[in-house]
Amino acid sequence: MKDSKSFTVFLAIALALVLLTGSIAVPILCRPFYYAQIGPLGLEASTGLTEAEIKTAYDEMLDYCQGGEEFSTGVLRWSESGKSHFTDVRFLFQLDLQVLVCTLALVTASLLFIRRGRRRPALLLGRGPGFWAGVGLGGLFLLVGALAALDFDRAFVAFHALFFPGKDNWLFDPAQDQIINILPQEFFRSCAILILGLLTAGCAALIAFDLTRKRGRESRHSKLQKF
């Protein structure tokens, strides 16, 4: 079986993308994560809506962002400017899910390729692709998380400037786009914490798996030397 450094780099990038897009996909796809915050955030009291109305507005908005044709927000008013922002969000959500599916397929195909003995990722500085995926992605997002923790408001603005360049339609008028009343900044902070937590756990798992495999390789090598 031939070792390949380029295969190691490719697999490390693919693993990092699976973990990144998968972590982002969790709050997008897991609607109970939002439902669980309706009470703690006091949304019924602050908006005068029932829990059922809040859930319906959130679900209809998210249906659109996940690829639905019609935009609606339940009993809440919305403007064309607000809709255009959610159209941009829909593009990013679908891009994330598409990259997740594609990279997951690539990783699966790569593992089958390795199992069949056709090619094997070479060790870089004694470490495999999982280690480098975990260290690279984990280091980057721990830094991002630390900066966001220092000033989340500024990080929130920087995020929108980066992903919605030249646009200000994400600055909602609560009277015109009432959906923003049930999407307080505290909810987005919770989403960021969840994503960062999933990324950290995933990176730690990749690193631990690589270290375990390294000890296994060393143990087998030691036994062979005894013979």
User: What Rg do the C-alpha atoms of the chain give, in angstroms?
Assistant: 22
63 burial level (CB within 10 Å; 0-12, 13-18, 19+) = middle
Give the closest residue to 11 by CA, choosing from 141, 118, 108, 140: 108
3-state SS class at 4: strand
Q: Are strands 119-121 and 2-4 parallel, antiparallel or unpaired?
A: parallel
Measured distance CA(124)–CA(4) in Å, rounded: 10
- pLDDT the model gives residue 214: 61
Calculate the alpha carbon distances from 184 to 158, 212, 227 in Å: 17, 43, 66
Give the closest residue to 54 by CA, choosing from 28, 84, 34, 29: 34
Print the SS3 string covering 84-121: HHHHHHHHHHHHHHHHHHHHHHHHHHHHHHHHCCCEEE
- pLDDT the model gives residue 1: 57
Identify the segments of the chain with pLDDT beneath 70.
Answer: 1, 118, 214-227
Answer for the pair 181, 174: CB distance below 8 angstroms, yes or no: yes
Measured distance CA(13)–CA(21) in Å, rounded: 12
Residues 168-206 have pLDDT tens digits of 999 999 999 999 999 999 999 999 999 999 999 999 999
Host H or E run for residue 80: helix 80-115
Answer for the pair 25, 97: CB distance below 8 angstroms, yes or no: yes
